[in-house]
Amino acid sequence: MNCQEIRPQITAYIDNSLESQLVSEVRRHLDSCAACAEFHREQLQLADWFSSGSIELEPPAQIWAGIEGRLAPASAFHWNFLEFFQFPSFRYALAGVAALLFLSAALLLNSGEAVSFNSALAQIESYNLNVEGNPFWPEVRSQNPFFEFDRQGLERVDNPFDRSDQLP
């Protein structure tokens, strides 16, 4: 390896992270190259300065206090409902419930229309079977010579096309 290639290995060597198979090569190079030996010395000094000058702070107590507060049990019941909107799963669930309600309302409305339709149909059918209230009854009767109608329903009299008595 040339100097450019070996210098990253030198810094890894300083940080005790050089692969074992490269250690001897780096040491040989440092013994033979004055420039890289100087680089090695500077980097050692840098590491020393940074280590000695670096401060370690104690984490403030309010970090844990904040965590504890956010992990308070559900029985505290001080939830703000709006905070749940930050959770995507809650938004999806809400959308699903709204869709379900909308669908139910649509079905209910349709079934109401079906009821009114059925009642209208029954009224129409009543015109066919019940002579009362049928404004077209006199005309129907006059146009159909084969039937005599009574108030209860249809009654067939003298129908020359009737073969029902011959049916098995």
Q: Compare residues 41 and 91 and give the one whose CB is closer to another protein.
A: 41
CB of 112 to another protein, least distance (A): 47
Written as one string, the DSSP assignment of 36-85 is HHHHHHHHHHHHHHHHHH---PPPPHHHHHHHHHHT--GGG----GGGGG
Closest CA to 140 of 159, 121, 127: 127
DSSP 164: G
**Nearer to another protein among residue 15 and residue 125 (C-beta):** 15
Instruction: In angstroms, give the least distance from the CB of 116 to another protein.
Output: 53
Does 2 participate in binding another protein (rule CB under 8 A)?
A: no
Nearer Cβ to another protein, position 51 or 166?
A: 51
Q: Whose Cβ is closer to another protein: residue 50's or residue 81's?
A: 50
- 40/32 Cα distance (integer angstroms): 13
Adjacent-strand bridge partners of 156: 147
| Footprint on residues 34-63 left by another protein (CB under 8 A) | 42-43, 46-47, 49-60, 62-63
Structure tokens at 48: 């020393």
Q: Contact residues for another protein (CB under 8 A)?
A: 7-9, 11-12, 15-17, 42-43, 46-47, 49-60, 62-64, 66-67, 70-71
